[in-house]
Amino acid sequence: MKVSEKTKVAVLGAINIDFVVNSDTLPRPGETVRGTEFNQFPGGKGANQAVAAAKLGGTVTMVGAVGNDMFGRTLLDNLRKYAIDTGYVRELPTSSGIALILVDRKGQNLISFVSGANGIVDRSMVDDAREVIAGADVLLLQLECPVETVEYAVRAAHSLGTDVILNPAPASSVSDETLKQCAVVMPNETEAEILTGIEVTDEKTAFDAASRLLKKGSKRAIITLGEKGAFLLENAGEKGRLIPAPKVDSIDAVAAGDVFAGALAVQLGRGVKLDEAVFFANHAAALSTTKNGAQPSIPALKDVLAFIG
């Protein structure tokens, strides 16, 4: 696999501090369970995907916001540690984003978050970053920041000729007009149902959901299916294809989707074919589940290449 070329990736998204509690089982409503470990990690879908893209070979610029609290400076310093350009991250007079994450012994998780500064990311921040977006190979987006800002960023990137990859997470609806301006839309099963009304339970329903996304205007659709892999569809009328994920001993799947997105952005930005990009992203995401934490679990490029073999 050719890995020498640097993809320019712009990421607009949330920057959080994650508080993670590990326990044997996840609590049911009204239940209290005893935790086995507590850790604090930098997180947020946007920041996670930016770090993944940087560690997997991309040149990355982050667009977003942190608070002027005790966590904001830590979060910025952490992004810079991975050589991510933070010149378009504003420090706002509010709290930074906070996520509370519960993880069981099988690696499954429950997450609740407070947007903080992420909820104030607005059009002016997109406008400030227009030059960076125009110069990027890919703009990578999620939905932890206000949806209206994300849709504005999609329109801006489309008008500037920059490919958009939209990871519609956490699950929320976006307009069909937004989908039409995306090079790739990549929801998981839950997010795909929100966008299409089709419950995804197997390969056939993944195909149905992907087909619906293409009918809505998305250029290409990827339905991520966790440990099963990812279903991709490039053109209406085709059968699509399930790219299986490699088997690993998973202990924490909290950042797997973000690693997949960051890996995909770097590969597609380099001009790699979609099925090859998904194959690489599957391996990067699977490898991330073998370690605890969001960003600490993101593998380096050399580790993914060694894992692929």
- Helix, strand, coil percentages, rounded to 5, for the chain: 40, 25, 35
For residue 249, indicate whether it is catalytic: no
Cβ count near 238 (within 10 Å): 13
Q: What is the separation of C-alpha 222 from the centre of its chain, rounded to a whole number of angstroms?
A: 13
Residues 6+ apart with CB under 8 A from 4: none
Q: Of the listed 69, 258, 275, 303, which one is catalytic?
A: 258
Task: Indicate left, alpha or beta for 288 from its phi (over 0: left) and psi (-120 to 50: alpha).
Answer: alpha
User: Angle at CA 135, nearest 5°, toward 132 and 139?
Assistant: 70
Q: Which residues of 161-183 are buried (b: 16+ CB within 10 A; e: fewer)?
A: ebbbbbbbbeeeebeeebbebbb
**HSE on the CB side for 111, CA within 13 Å?**
25
Contact criterion met (CB below 8 Å) for 10 and 129: yes
The SS3 call for residue 299 is: coil
Q: Report the catalytic residues.
A: 258
